[in-house]
Structure 1
Amino acid sequence: MRRDVRFRATGSLSYTIFLSLLVILSACCFGSYPVRAEVIRLGEINPLTGSFALHGLEIHQGITYAVEEVNARGGVQGRRVELLSRDDQSRPDVALNQTQDLLYREKVVGLLGGYVDSLVSPISSLAARCSVPYVAAASLQKSLTAKPNPFFFRVSCISGVIQPLCRFLGEELKPKRVAILYMATPGSTEFAQGVKESLGKYGIQTVVCEKFRPGAPDFSVFLLKVKQQKAEVVISGGFFQDNLLLVRQLGEQQTSIQAFIAPWGVAYEKFIREMGRSGEGLMGMCAWNPGITQPGTEKVSQDFVRGFSQRFGQMPNTTTMHGYTAARALLAAVEQAVLKPEGLNGAAISRALRNLDLLLPMERLRFDNQGDPLDYNQVIVQVQKGQLQVVYPTGRATAGSIRYK
């Protein structure tokens, strides 16, 4: 009998020790989970390498700064925001794989980033299937918001580029003949088609409309057509490097035109610096730049420029601000959603985004039912004496326009 009692006592003690070890082991293996639950995880996919890396890195910096800004103030309702960044290598297939990793493995509650619609499109489709809101920083293609998608939002839209550009040409410069060069990407193609159609309503003829592939090494044939067709204005839908090459070849061929306008690539300090005196009179477009901000946001804009410059050791630009604006939108929506009874989930964040109304340096940010911004409008800027001056619209102009050559 005693042996049986001793066995039961020993067995009981062993079981107690086993349970204690199990508790300790669980704490070691899973102790981080309760802490992790308090962290709000956001994902970001951008082209940090590859052909679009220059602007992808700028968007990344804007997003990073917005998240760090929120965390410096104590986070979202006391919860730290963790930003998980992924590089899509400027490739749609990689963008899709990175999105899958963030959604399925990392369990992020929202997505940010994206440069050019060939990279944005696969992200938006997968995010919608997973009911996770995605706020794109640089997206233009109309088809992405043509179909109902309650989880896709963007801080830019093609109409905010085409409309001010065509009004400026139709009401201010009034050329008779223009030439359009555009890149073989969905957004740039849509831009060229929209500009051609809109200018036609002003009686302006598009005498050359030519497509090129990213990284094209030579534009001399296009410029020969510009000269032969006597185009007065050249409109470029290319990016930074494309416009550097195009403008240099324009000078080499001594092609006389009234104006050169490129919505993307010209309104950058680096572009102006690299062009030097040859950049005088070039026109670009931007939604924001240091010194060019929405009325009423001057101080906020100055604070952003100062803080960003201290953090990254360089001045922000319009692309940086697109990333910052997208992040500010998602963070504001997360802050509203986290207070809701149902807790933090994709549907709650999406509803908060739909009802958002923020006055930011780049725009008053409100979304329509398709997820497009209601108040996104770029301004026309021109390089004058090495500085960017707003020349249109008139109400925001800091100088009158001058002839390019």
Structure 2
Amino acid sequence: MSRSNYRLPRRKVLALLAAAPIAVSSRSAFAQEPIKIGGIFPLTGGNSVFGNQNFQGVETAIDLINDRGGVKGRKIQLFKGDGNSPQAAISETNRLASREGVRIFVGSSTSAVGMVASQEAERNGAFYWEGMAVANNYTERDFKSVFRMGLSASGLGQPAPLYTAEVLAPMLKADPKTLKVAVVAEDSAFGVDVSKAAIDQAEKLGMKIGLRELYSAKTTDLSPLVLKLRSFNPDVIIATQFINDAILLQRQMKEINYSPRAFVGTSAGHSTLSLAEAIGNDVNGIFSSSFPLEANVNSLSAATRTDRDEFVKRYEARYKVTPAVQESLGFVVGMALARDILGNAASDSAADLRDASLKADVPLGSYINGWGLKFDDKGQNQRAFGSVVQWQDQKMISVYPEANKLRDPIMVPLPAWNTR
């Protein structure tokens, strides 16, 4: 039969014509359908410094992933949820789940926010990826789709006494077991858990804690604490504080011209650029047991070095400041979620993301802070570790452990206030 004489039945032609654009449209829509992620962070209020820094780090990672083609050809759409209080975190998690159809969440800057936001995500059948909340019981709740890439309070508090014993004691020409150590902390779950971890680790090392003080997280006057510290006169202060009380303590110690021989914070208020902005050169010499700021380049893979350079370039261009601990942590958390979990999951359902998380086996040095990724059966990353930074020339410099060390510590013992 010649081609000119061949004819399909009219009914079949119409059926094919009707089906064709639907199939093409459906494939196109699937390819372009974004992966929705909700970020639950305190973006206003007392903890907004950390919340915005964490979120901006996550956002930079997502932008980089999208510019590299997205996840399996799909772009990621990042939504903001302002968890400026536990109640707001609950409300924002539910709002993004119900109104925006979000089924993947990332957070949270504080344990108070992370605990309730992850609970609501689990209740909604969603997946929650935690990077910043450190409460020890975060991963003890039997949730199926909640994973913490970052440190627990124990992991955050332990480097402070380890560094004190291994490095500061010899620099102070003292036996760690004879050092006078004071531990002070604000009384939220963060302060209680992290300071307890520091005390437990110190006691394992044979160090004696001569003064232990908890104070109200809402205080506006730390002069009674300063007077107790001056009376006890410790060699080393280990402090767990948020930004406002961290600034207040340093200012009130300076007012009465008191300082220990060494001061070691434990992240939060001592690991944010806001501390240097507030107290200037007085920040120099302070240490902080912290989420890692960055890793020694020799401990990173070639691809990770590229990620680090790209992150710094993008962050500085957008926010006009060099990223530090909180921003770096957000970037690591965002990259891991997008590249190593979503990128390896069968779908973006909570069940498939859980499966991808449990199978993740990312070696150390794969993220810009030196971390890797391997979860235990409770959803806690076993390849996250703490580090110690020191403020030098109003910048945070990694000094411990060796894999992250960039420079040697300085100003031990601490000099007089007017020479910092």
Q: TM-score range by the shorter chain?
A: 0.7 to 0.9
Q: In the TM superposition, what is the alpha-carbon distance from 1:138 to its structure 2 partner?
A: 0.7
Q: Is the 8 A contact 1:329 1:353 kept in 2?
A: no
Separation of aligned partners in 1, 2:327 and 2:367: 13
For residue 365 of structure 1, the aligned residue among 368, 373, 390 is 373
Q: In the TM superposition, what is the alpha-carbon distance from 1:99 to its structure 2 partner?
A: 0.8
For residue 123 of structure 2, the aligned residue among 105, 125, 129 is 129
Q: In the TM superposition, what is the alpha-carbon distance from 1:215 to its structure 2 partner?
A: 4.1
Separation of aligned partners in 2, 1:204 and 1:305: 39
- The aligned counterpart of 2:113 is 119
Query: What is the aligned residue count?
Result: 371
Q: In the TM superposition, what is the alpha-carbon distance from 1:310 to its structure 2 partner?
A: 1.5
Q: Give aligned-pair identity as a percent.
A: 24
The question of 1:282 aligning with 2:286 is answered yes
- The aligned counterpart of 1:154 is 148
- The aligned counterpart of 1:198 is 201
For residue 392 of structure 2, the aligned residue among 381, 384, 387 is 384
Q: Is the 8 A contact 2:187 2:216 kept in 1?
A: yes
Q: In the TM superposition, what is the alpha-carbon distance from 1:395 to its structure 2 partner?
A: 5.6
Separation of aligned partners in 1, 2:208 and 2:77: 51
Q: In the TM superposition, what is the alpha-carbon distance from 1:329 to its structure 2 partner?
A: 2.2
Separation of aligned partners in 1, 2:36 and 2:402: 43
Q: In the TM superposition, what is the alpha-carbon distance from 1:222 to its structure 2 partner?
A: 0.8
Q: In the TM superposition, what is the alpha-carbon distance from 1:34 to its structure 2 partner?
A: 4.9
- The aligned counterpart of 1:226 is 229
Q: In the TM superposition, what is the alpha-carbon distance from 1:64 to its structure 2 partner?
A: 1.3
- The aligned counterpart of 1:238 is 241
Q: How does 1:278-317 map to 2 (within 5 A)?
A: 278-289=282-293, 295-296=299-300, 297-317=304-324
Q: Is the 8 A contact 2:293 2:398 kept in 1?
A: no
- The aligned counterpart of 1:22 is none
**TM-score w.r.t. structure 1 length?**
0.84
The question of 1:253 aligning with 2:256 is answered yes
Separation of aligned partners in 2, 1:313 and 1:276: 19
Separation of aligned partners in 2, 1:238 and 1:83: 30
The question of 1:105 aligning with 2:115 is answered no
- Secondary structure (helix, strand or coil) at the match of 1:148 reads coil
Q: Is the 8 A contact 1:59 1:322 kept in 2?
A: yes
Q: Is the 8 A contact 2:324 2:396 kept in 1?
A: no
- The aligned counterpart of 1:17 is none
- Secondary structure (helix, strand or coil) at the match of 2:381 reads coil
Distance 1:391 1:81, change over 3 A: closer
Deviations 1:301-325 (A, max 9, x none): 1221012211332221211122222
- The aligned counterpart of 2:184 is 181
Q: In the TM superposition, what is the alpha-carbon distance from 1:207 to its structure 2 partner?
A: 2.4
Distance 1:394 1:291, change over 3 A: closer
- The aligned counterpart of 2:3 is none
- The aligned counterpart of 2:413 is 403
- Secondary structure (helix, strand or coil) at the match of 1:236 reads strand
- Secondary structure (helix, strand or coil) at the match of 1:377 reads coil
- The aligned counterpart of 1:87 is 82
Q: Is the 8 A contact 2:398 2:404 kept in 1?
A: yes
Q: In the TM superposition, what is the alpha-carbon distance from 1:91 to its structure 2 partner?
A: 0.7
Distance 1:390 1:82, change over 3 A: closer
The aligned amino acid for 1:389 is I
For residue 78 of structure 1, the aligned residue among 66, 70, 73 is 73
Q: Is the 8 A contact 2:40 2:82 kept in 1?
A: yes
The aligned amino acid for 2:408 is A
Q: Is the 8 A contact 2:284 2:394 kept in 1?
A: yes
Q: In the TM superposition, what is the alpha-carbon distance from 1:98 to its structure 2 partner?
A: 0.9
Separation of aligned partners in 2, 1:298 and 1:403: 34
- Secondary structure (helix, strand or coil) at the match of 1:218 reads coil
Distance 1:225 1:354, change over 3 A: same
Distance 1:204 1:52, change over 3 A: same
- The aligned counterpart of 1:329 is 336
Separation of aligned partners in 2, 1:324 and 1:391: 21
**TM-score w.r.t. structure 2 length?**
0.81
Separation of aligned partners in 1, 2:134 and 2:105: 17
Distance 1:71 1:193, change over 3 A: same
Distance 1:353 1:345, change over 3 A: same
Question: Structure 1 stretches of 5 or more lacking a match?
Answer: 1-26
The aligned amino acid for 1:399 is D
Q: In the TM superposition, what is the alpha-carbon distance from 1:179 to its structure 2 partner?
A: 1.6
The question of 1:42 aligning with 2:31 is answered no
Q: Is the 8 A contact 2:41 2:81 kept in 1?
A: yes
Distance 1:294 1:259, change over 3 A: farther
- Secondary structure (helix, strand or coil) at the match of 1:51 reads coil
Distance 1:277 1:64, change over 3 A: closer
- Secondary structure (helix, strand or coil) at the match of 1:329 reads helix
